Amino acid sequence: MLLKGKKGIIFGVANEHSLAWHIAQQAHEQGAELLLSVASERFLRRVGPLAERLNAGQPIICDVSSDGDIKRAFEEIRARMPEVDFIVHAIATAKRDDLQGRFLDTSRDGFSLAHDVSTFSFVAISREAENMLRPGASLLTLTYLGAVRAVPSYNVMGVAKASLEASVRYMANDFGPSGVRVNAISAGPVKTLSASVVKGFKDKVDIQQVAAPLRRNVTGEDVGKAGLFLLSDMASGVTGEILYVDCGYNIMADFITRED
C-alpha cells in the first residue's frame, strides 16, 4: 500500500462530494492514518460520520481565518498525531456577489477574504505544522484553471488561486532543504459545495465533456487518485508543481463561453 505507516491531516472536507473527501478515501484505502479538519461546528454533523468511515476520530474544528484558532487546532492535532507525513489543504471561499458580474467590481473586503481563506491559510497551516513534518512529507493544495485564464464568473477566486499557485512555488523552495514537497492539483470542474456558488458552473461542465481530449468530465475519483500519487513516495522528486487533472482540457484552445 502506497501510504502504509503514513499519517496525515486533511483540511476542507465538507461532505462526500468534496475533493478533499475523495483524496481522504484514497489515502485511507492505501493505509494512511488520518485526521480531518472542518471549518466550524456546523460541518461536524455531516463530516463526523465520514470521519468514522476512515477511523479518523472526531474532526478537528479550525477557523483558518484566525491565527489563534489555527494554533489551538494544532495543539489538539499534536496531542493526537505528533508527527505527520502529509497535509491536504482544500479550503476556499469568496463572497457570492464577487463571483458574478465584473472582476473590476470586486469589493475590497471580498478581495481580502478570498486571499485570506483561499491562499494565506495554506501558508499559515503549513507554517504551524513545520516542526511536525517528517522528512519526505508532502503538502498539497487544490487550484483551478481560473488561476491562469480569465474564466467567466470565477473572478476574484481566480486571482486568489493565482496567488495560491505562486505560494506553492515559494513554499516548495522554503521547505525543500528539509525534504518536504509542496504541490497543487488543478482540478477540472467537479460538482462540489464550493463549485455550486459559481455562476454558469453547469456550462463549464458541459463544455469540458465536449472539448477535453478525453471527451468526458473529470471525477472526484480522478482527483483522489492524483492526490494519492502526490502524497506518496511515488512523487518523491516532484515539488513546486501544478498537476492538471482535467481530462486534458487545459491544453485546448479557448472553448469558454462569454457572458455579455
CATH architecture of the domain 7-251 equals: 3-Layer(aba) Sandwich (3.40)
Is residue 260 pLDDT above 80, yes or no? Answer: no
Which letter does DSSP use for residue 83 in this model? S
- Which range (19-23, 90-94, 200-204) has the least confidence? 200-204
DSSP state of 146: G
Say which amino acid occupies 115: H
Domain ranges of the chain: 7-251
Q: Is 144 a catalytic residue?
A: yes
* Active-site residue, selected from the candidate residues 154, 170, 244, 249: 154
pLDDT at 256 over 60: no
Provide the percentage of residues in the chain whose pLDDT is more than 90: 86
Do residues 241 and 12 lie in contact, with contact meaning Cβ atoms separated by under 8 Å?
no
**What's the average model confidence in pLDDT over 111-121?**
98
Given 144, 170, 244, 249, the catalytic residue: 144
168-211 pLDDT per residue, tens? 999 999 999 999 999 999 999 886 545 455 555 566 677 788 88
Rounded CA gap, 165 and 73, in Å? 25
- Catalytic annotation present for 244: no
